[in-house]
A and B are shown apart, each in its own frame.
Chain A
Amino acid sequence: MTTVHQFVPALLPRDATGDHTLALRDTFRNAGWTSNIYVEAAHDELLTEATYFEEYPDHAQPGDVLLYQLSTASPVADFLLGRPETLVLDYHNITPASFYEGWEENTAEKVALARRQMAELAPRAMLGIADSAFNAAELRAFGCPETEVVPILTDIDAWASRHLVDAAEAARLKESHRTGARLLFVGRLSPNKNQHLLVEMLWLYRRWYDPEARLALVGPAITGTYARAVMEYAEELGLSGAVDHGENLTPTQLAAWYSDADVFVCLSDHEGFCIPLLEAMHFDLPIVAFAAGAVPETLGQAGILIDSKRPSLVAAAVHRVRGDGSLAEHLAEEGHQRLDAFGVAATRARFIEVVGGLEADRAVSA
């Protein structure tokens, strides 16, 4: 029987990597495989789902495949380097340290360490799985001998059904503004996400097209210095009342923020996949996004892909998608087709095919 155990630094609820790990474990088990999750830390809600990673040697069996969910620095990486079992990496991207330098040296050091660990793990892995071609290229650049692209397991329909919008949050948001466009970006406040450029764009957009327009930035302020700078910048530009920050939202509250928005705008410099693009598609939001990292391949033709972050171009693109109902409808249709490409059933089958193929390869080489 095939045995694939997953290792993940932290197993958290309502977290993309956490949800993916749990869904993948279930996928493997449904295929009749043995699969457990080993972690450095787990949230209280998920303690029963995981085992501390250093306990794995007590459970190790010949033929085990160890699959590492690689997205941050962790002692789990060093532990896996010392294990003799077949190693598979599932790579979700690590933001390069250069984005944090000058903002938060601690974070810069942590991601630099994560990349050093990746450089050690990649040549050692028998297979690298990446959720985008962009991530696969990074894995290969780090010496991973073989890579496959398989999307992240994210069941958008189950996660954010329209019926699960938090009504109270939706009413509160509606009350906070009456007219004007509502522009949205979802992602942690971090220098590589360029929220300050969204503020610049809002400033110009209000001057040119819609003085009542507002910007919603949803995501944890993990890089505190950057988050403060963005908010102070907004205040300096006279936009403090027009920029809302949402964090620690439940899934249904987040659904309310999506439902409340008119346009989703993404100006990130570095995205390994960008799940919020899929969420925006689910909510029929027209998307304007800067073509960087994995954004073009995740977005496909379901949005306006721009090749520059200049606020003038972004503002004009937002104006266009907001003012052209027919275009918005076209993009929404494209979005639905795009979501089908990331369908959970097909992705589950692809994981079984890719990891199962590895098992077959091992049998042949043996």
Chain B
Amino acid sequence: MPASTPSEPTAAPSATEPTSSVAPEEPLSPKPDELDAAGRAEYLAEVMAEIDAEVRHRRASGDLPAGLERELDELFLEFSPVGLQGKARLRENLALVDGAAYVDIAVPVKSQKKIGVYIKRLIRKSLNWYLGFIVHQVVKFAWAVSRMFHLVVDHIEDLEATVESLRIPELPATAVPVTDPGTSWWADQALAAVLGARGRVLHAECGNGSLVSRFIANGVDAYGVDPVETTIEPAIERGLDVRAEAALDHLEVVAEEALAGIVLSGSVQWLHPNERDRLIALASSRLAVGGVLVLHSATPEAWRRSTSPLVADLAPGRPLHADTWTHVLAAYGLSRTALHTGGEDRRLDRLATSNTDATTINAAIDTVNDLLLGPGEYLLVAVRDR
């Protein structure tokens, strides 16, 4: 096995002894003409559910280490020109330009027949003056283009160096608190939003999978993804369909309109603006029309006052106000249908009206409450309507 082959699964199956699986029971498959269209669809849905169960079983047994599939994808990129990023790709193509910039007029004169060599030599010699004139100009142009490309690449590299010097350090995964979304204040509202969904519901970043469990217990066909492998271990042990993937990576490989619901929580609120737009575009396209998007976020005010310094300083983006999210989602065909507020609430009590200064002081308290101390989190529900 080559050194760069993806990491071996724990308790890797032997190359000659395939590991056991959830063996397909020898079922009594119905013949199509014995079932109506709905019955046939139901039968295939059952088969699909068993296939999903098989993958979960493999994952739980250690046959499918978290991150293995991502490693495979990354390995393929090493063989693709699109995999060479930035500097390497530019330099590689520049080398191709340089290599192609020279035009050789010494046409080969080899021939299987001796006379052929003489004839070819004669043609080459008689045309040299003509081709030489043309080729000289072509090469001059090619070198000018090549020189210009070198200048452009040098300039880009200078810019990259400048951008790199401005980059903030990456937020360590350990700095992000492990979430238990199933016991949070917004779990009931999230459940109500996806209850009755006709299809799979994804919870991205699902933390320990507790919300996925609640969804399943209430008849919702739910699964989850989370980029932190250690976080999802308890969920995998419970046999849940939970995968160690970032939401963006996962949604990239999901078919269009394949999901009935998506719950976004965790670091989604502080994604870089570019990534946030990409995520919403993907989520919208992966939702079926009528599908539900549920989004949990801290309010910008609570973010400033309650988030750990490391997260607050190093997160690539910042939470948005609920109304801003509504605007962003609408651009992707998602209409807000509900907004719930909750979480930490530090609002000051108003003075009793019997106090002579109550009116003035209460107005000030209201302003402070609204600006700084209101509900710390919100849950936004939207529906894909086009």
Q: Do A and B bind each other?
A: yes
**Chain A residues within 8 Å of B, Cβ to Cβ:** 101-103, 196, 200, 203, 206-211, 225-226, 228-229, 232-233, 236-238, 290-292, 301, 304-313, 316-317, 319-320, 323-327, 329-330, 333-334, 337
0/1 interface trace, chain B 344-366, chain A, CB 8 Å (1 if under): 00000000000000000000000
Contact call A308/B253, Cβ cutoff below 8 A: yes
B254 at the interface (CB under 8 A from A): yes
0/1 interface trace, chain B 75-93, chain A, CB 8 Å (1 if under): 1100111100000000000
Contact call B43/A319, Cβ cutoff below 8 A: no
| Bound complex: CA A291 to CA B33 (Å) | 24
Contact call A211/B18, Cβ cutoff below 8 A: yes
| Bound complex: CA A301 to CA B37 (Å) | 9
| Bound complex: CA A48 to CA B82 (Å) | 44
Output the nearest chain B residue to A333 by Cβ-Cβ distance: B32
Kindly identify, within residues 27 to 60 of chain B, every residue whose CB is under 8 Å from any CB belonging to chain A: 27-33, 37, 40-41, 43-44, 47-48, 50-52, 54-55, 58-59
Contact call B21/A203, Cβ cutoff below 8 A: no
Contact call A324/B41, Cβ cutoff below 8 A: no
Contact call B63/A320, Cβ cutoff below 8 A: no
Shortest distance in angstroms between A211's beta carbon and chain B's nearest beta carbon?
Answer: 5
Subset of 24 A-B contacts with CB under 8 Å = A101-B82, A103-B80, A103-B81, A196-B76, A200-B72, A200-B76, A207-B13, A207-B63, A211-B15, A211-B18, A225-B80, A229-B76, A229-B80, A233-B79, A237-B75, A304-B44, A305-B44, A306-B255, A312-B64, A313-B51, A316-B54, A320-B50, A330-B32, A337-B32
B1 at the interface (CB under 8 A from A): yes
| Bound complex: CA A232 to CA B2 (Å) | 12
| Bound complex: CA A238 to CA B75 (Å) | 13
Q: Which of these, A226, A229, A310, A329, contacts B69 with CB under 8 Å? A: A310
B19 at the interface (CB under 8 A from A): yes
| Bound complex: CA A325 to CA B5 (Å) | 34
- Which residues from B are CB-within-8-Å of A228? 79
Shortest distance in angstroms between A179's beta carbon and chain B's nearest beta carbon?
Answer: 12
- Total interface residues on B, CB under 8 Å, equals 55
Output the nearest chain B residue to A316 by Cβ-Cβ distance: B54
Shortest distance in angstroms between A152's beta carbon and chain B's nearest beta carbon?
Answer: 22
With A232-B79, A237-B5 already in contact, the answer to whether A323 and B23 are too (CB < 8 A) is yes
B320 at the interface (CB under 8 A from A): no
Residue of A196, A226, A233, A307 with highest tally of chain B CB at under 10 A: A307
B258 at the interface (CB under 8 A from A): yes
| Bound complex: CA A207 to CA B5 (Å) | 13
| Bound complex: CA A317 to CA B21 (Å) | 12
- Which residues from B are CB-within-8-Å of A309? 253
Q: Which of these, A200, A292, A304, contacts B51 with CB under 8 Å? A: A304
| Bound complex: CA A10 to CA B81 (Å) | 30
- Which residues from B are CB-within-8-Å of A207? 9, 12-13, 15, 18, 63
Output the nearest chain B residue to A292 by Cβ-Cβ distance: B255
Contact call A236/B69, Cβ cutoff below 8 A: no
Residue of B5, B9, B73, B79 with highest tally of chain A CB at under 10 A: B79
- Which residues from B are CB-within-8-Å of A211? 15-18
Contact call B76/A319, Cβ cutoff below 8 A: no
- Which residues from B are CB-within-8-Å of A307? 200, 254-255, 258-259
Shortest distance in angstroms between B130's beta carbon and chain A's nearest beta carbon?
Answer: 30
Shortest distance in angstroms between B67's beta carbon and chain A's nearest beta carbon?
Answer: 12
0/1 interface trace, chain B 171-212, chain A, CB 8 Å (1 if under): 000000000000000000000000000001000000000000
Shortest distance in angstroms between A272's beta carbon and chain B's nearest beta carbon?
Answer: 15
- Which residues from B are CB-within-8-Å of A206? 15, 18
Shortest distance in angstroms between B42's beta carbon and chain A's nearest beta carbon?
Answer: 10
Contact call A313/B23, Cβ cutoff below 8 A: no
Contact call A327/B24, Cβ cutoff below 8 A: yes
- Which residues from A are CB-within-8-Å of B9? 207
